[in-house]
Amino acid sequence: MPEFSWVERHAFEFRQTDSKPNTCFVLLHGFAGSPAEMRPLGEALFAKGYDAVGPALLGHGINPEALNLVHWQDWVEAARDFLHEERERYPTVVLIGLSMGALVSSIIVSSSEPQELPDALVLLAPALKARDERLKWARWMKYVLPWFPETVRPQAGLTSKDGWKRLWHYEKRPVHALAELYYIQEFAKTILSKVHKPVLVVHGMKDLTVPESSARDVYEGLASRQKEILWLEKSGHCLTADVELDLLVSEIIEFLGRALPSIEK
């Protein structure tokens, strides 16, 4: 077992050393966040006997200024390249994205070559919409205002008293990057009908960042024949660090058992 850091914002790889699992989970974090928010899920899946890896999307886990240097297509292409590497290593690959990471995941699945696709997709709190009204103005405000302060604290909406301590995110948001988030939202709305892989959509009912309607719209827009939606009653936006993590893991594994009967550790 690896020694897990309490707060680690960098990319992680949890790979079994005493066996070679057939399945790997690729975990993509959200906007202005870091792999830290996916690490608890990666740890839990690793404990179940699976491999789990979580890359840092471009511009993340460094400093807020770094987000001003990238566009949403950079997030997609970097994640696609990372998925390609894991696809070559494992017979079965499952892609899990949180918030913006869920949009990146959906775009990858809608536009990749068949041999590059993950076998299944899990979309956690997909950020097709946002409660923050400033987002839709960011594409114009970026020319006159460099930063927005963070208005929702990481612990907001979390039932867990300590879950927020496992998160690492930027304290201020580059308005240029928020405009890119808006653009990826708009693009993601156009490609859901091209997603045909099995998909599990999950949303926390205490989410103060993304409304419930976002998860519903994603679910209804997917072309997948096998799709399910799960509501976690006690979880906030970063449901990977909240009190229902164990339930989330069991539901993911059960869904994959139905969607991919041949899935193995």
- Numbered residues of the known binding site: 31, 100
Instruction: Mention every residue, 6+ apart, whose C-beta is less than 8 A from residue 17.
Output: none
Of 34, 51, 99, 235, the active-site residue reads 99
Between the alpha carbon of residue 25 and those of residues 3, 135, 171, 186, 236, the distances in Å are 19, 30, 29, 27, 22
Tell me how far apart the alpha carbons of residues 32 and 65 are, in angstroms, rounded to a whole number. Answer: 11
Of 51, 169, 237, 242, the active-site residue reads 237
What is the identity of the amino acid at 138?
A: A
Of 51, 119, 207, 242, the active-site residue reads 207
Do residues 232 and 204 touch, judged by C-beta distance below 8 A?
yes
For the question of residue 81 being annotated catalytic, the response is no
Q: Is 232 left (phi over 0), alpha (psi -120 to 50) or beta?
A: beta
Count other Cβ atoms within 10 Å, centred on residue 200: 26
Element (H, E) at 75: helix 72-89
For the question of residue 237 being annotated catalytic, the response is yes
As annotated, the binding site for substrate includes 31, 100
SS3 assignment, position 191 = helix
For the question of residue 110 being annotated catalytic, the response is no
Q: Which residues are catalytic?
A: 99, 207, 237
